[in-house]
Amino acid sequence: MNVLTILVVMVGLSVAGYYLGTRQAVGVAGGQRSRLHSLPSYHGLYLASWVLLPAVALLIVWLIVEPHVAEQALIANLPASVEQMDPNTLRLTIGDIEARALGGIVGREVAPEFQPAAEAYAATLSISRWLMAACLVAVMAIGGLLAFRSIGVEMRARNRFERIAEVIMIGAATIAILTTVGIILSLLFETARFFAEVPFFEFLFGLQWSPQTALRADQVGSSGSFGAIPLFAGTLLITLIALCVAVPIGLFAAIYMSEYATPRIRGTAKPILEILAGVPTVVYGFFAALTVAPFFRGLGQSIGLDVSSESALAAGSVMGIMIIPFVSSLSDDVMNAVPQSLRDGAFALGATKSETIRQVILPAALPGIVGAVLLATSRAIGETMIVVMAAGLAANLTANPLEAVTTVTVQIVTLLVGDQEFDSAKTLAAFALGLVLFVVTLCLNIFALHIVRKYREKYD
């Protein structure tokens, strides 16, 4: 019995429960709805949630536990010969048997001596499914019956259903938070494994990045060196270039929109600027690689400069364009939040528009603008696609924007793309880099949001 069918039946039953509950509520009220404490639809919803929710919980638990139980049955039926097999091969064989039973594609035929184990596994699964269906029906019936019997004129179905809705929403929030925690934990564990192989200080302060490690003992030239400073420097360089582009343009655009533009122009210009944020980064990437980088190289050649075809300048400036909306939109919002009375005060003293902006509006909005720039920075640091396509792979330790550099994100991509073994220092390095990136952007975001919030409190 497959899970989809079961789910459809469950939803069907709960919909039926809704109508049943609604009708029953009208029934107990003798057709006079006003006698009921709650509207009939709340009784319906209450009944439906009692039918559906416990069953869903049971289903989830069952589906988590079931494979383990079935695997125990499989292992119990393995032939005695497995004692001589090495653990890895055994693990693979068990995987094959399971995949076959579930109808998956298996590379090899299962050897005859494993037949009993395979049968036991399939039998357990099949029994488990029927058992599960029976249990679900029972749970739904009990839940539905209890809820059905509680329906009455005085029953506070509305309050109870609100409570259930609250629990569902808490559940949704919990899932999101737990996922974040899970990601952090996976980063932490893999990073710990990496630092078991590469010393912490060598990673953070080493000047040489060359993550190719030897797969076989006889390979040459791949010693593996994990000094991440060139990556941090490259990231910093590109972020700086991006900020040099985004901060002036974004800020001036914001000043224009909040202080000079008529509401109509602002209403049009702001969404258009925000479209920039909606352009897929891969599109920026090939714009940088195929249009901007050759342009800079050509420009460099014409004035006698040697610009590499994948330069930090090209990647950084396109990334700057990308983060303009972060700077302009947020800055525009904070400048708009500066009370009109401050502008009036300055104008009444005879200040011109530009004096008012420079000496009153900008200082008042500065914390918010700094927050906007920090958010844009953390976005730039974490940006991947543009730099993968336009910045290059060579881990040069240089401050020259005309050369190719590489960034933390680019290296994570190259370390993990393709077939990899997941226990070498090379792939584990990606997790360490990811953790560094995570910590830095997290700190920037917290700091930025703190500044923005502190500012908001002041005028609202």
Partner 1 sequence: MSAVELSPDAVGKNAPKIVARGVNVFYGSAQALKEVDLDVGEHEVTALIGPSGCGKSTFLRCLNRMNDVIEGCRVEGRIELDEDDIYDRQLDVVQLRARVGMVFQKPNPFPKSVYDNIAYGPRIHGVGQSKSEMDEIVETSLTRAGLWNEVKDRLQSPGTGLSGGQQQRLCIARAIAVNPEVILMDEPCSALDPIATARIEELIDELRQNFTIVIVTHSMQQAARVSQRTAFFHLGNLVEVGDTEQIFTNPRDERTEGYITGRFG
- The smaller minimum CB distance to partner 1, of residues 342 and 393, is found at 342
Binding-site member from 118, 251, 327, 364 for partner 1 (CB under 8 A):
364
Distance, in Å, from the CA atom of 405 to the CA atom of 46, rounded to the nearest integer, reads 61
| Residue among 277 and 366 whose Cβ is closer to partner 1 | 366
Gap between the Cα atoms of 260 and 266, Å rounded: 9
Q: Least distance from C-beta 326 to partner 1, angstroms? A: 24
Tell me the closest approach of the beta carbon of residue 364 to partner 1, in angstroms.
Answer: 5
Q: How many residues in the shown chain lie near partner 1 by CB under 8 A?
A: 20
CB 187 within 8 A of CB 435: yes
Q: How far is the CB of 456 from partner 1 (least distance, A)?
A: 14
Is the distance from CB of 459 to CB of 333 less than 8 angstroms? Answer: no
State in angstroms the smallest separation of the CB of 340 from partner 1.
9
Name the minimum Å distance from CB 256 to partner 1: 16
The binding track of 341-360 with respect to partner 1, each residue x by CB under 8 A or -, is: xxxxxxxxxxxx--x---xx
What b/e readout covers 32-69, taking b as 16+ CB neighbours within 10 angstroms?
A: eeeebbbebebbbbbbbbbbbbbbbebbeebeeebeee
Give whichever of 370 and 397 is closer to partner 1, judged by the CB atom: 370
Q: For residue 227, give both structure tokens.
A: 């000094």
DSSP string, 393-435: S-------TTS----HHHHHHHHHSSS--TTSHHHHHHHHHHH
Nearer to partner 1, 243 or 360 (CB): 360
Interface with partner 1 includes 294 (CB under 8 A)?
A: no
Residue 381 class from Cβ within 10 Å (0-12 exposed, 13-18 middle, 19+ buried)?
buried
Smallest distance from the beta carbon of 351 to partner 1, in angstroms? 5
Shortest Å distance, C-beta 335 to partner 1: 13
Residue 362 engages partner 1 in binding (rule: CB under 8 A): no
Site membership for partner 1, residue 306 (CB under 8 A) = no
CB 101, CB 66: distance < 8 Å = no
195 binds partner 1 (CB under 8 A): no
Using only the alpha carbons of the chain, give its radius of gyration.
31
Helices and strands (DSSP H and E) totals, the chain: 17, 2
- Phi, psi torsion values for 209, nearest 5 degrees: -115, 110
Instruction: Write each residue from 371 to 410 as x if it is in contact with partner 1 (CB under 8 A), else as -, in one continuous string.
Output: ----------------------------------------
Answer whether 317's CB lies under 8 Å from 344's CB: no
Asked if 267 interacts with partner 1 (CB under 8 A), we say no
Residue 372 Cβ vs partner 1, minimum distance, rounded to whole Å: 18
Which lies closer to partner 1 via its Cβ, residue 107 or residue 350? 350
Grouping H, G, I as helix, E, B as strand and the rest as coil, residue 209 is strand
Contact status, residue 391 vs residue 405, Cβ threshold 8 Å = yes
Query: Of the two residues 313 and 451, which places its CB atom closer to partner 1 in the complex?
Result: 451
Smallest gap from residue 375 Cβ to partner 1 (A) = 22
Distance in Å from the first CA to the final CA of the chain? 59
Residue closer to partner 1 (CB basis): 149 or 264: 264
Is residue 335 a contact residue for partner 1 (CB under 8 A)? no
User: Three-class SS of residue 181?
Assistant: helix
Nearer to partner 1, 365 or 388 (CB): 365
> 256 or 347, CB closer to partner 1?
347
Nearest approach in angstroms of CB 357 to partner 1 is 12
Closest CB 347 distance from partner 1, rounded Å: 6
**278-315 per-residue burial string, b: 16 or more CB within 10 A, e: under 16:** eeebeebbebbbeebbeebbeebeeeeeebbebbbbbb
Is there a contact between 372 and 349 (Cβ–Cβ < 8 Å)?
no
CA 391 to chain centre: 24
Q: Which one of 4, 262, 457, 460 is in contact with partner 1 (CB under 8 A)?
A: 262
Which stretch, 25-33, 69-77, 337-345, 382-390, contacts partner 1 (CB under 8 A)? 337-345
CA 87 to chain centre: 36
Q: Between residues 117 and 361, which has the closer beta carbon with respect to partner 1? A: 361
Please state, in angstroms and rounded to a whole number, the distance separating the CA atoms of residues 174 and 375: 25
What residues make contact with partner 1 under the rule CB under 8 A? 262, 339, 341-352, 355, 359-360, 363-364, 458
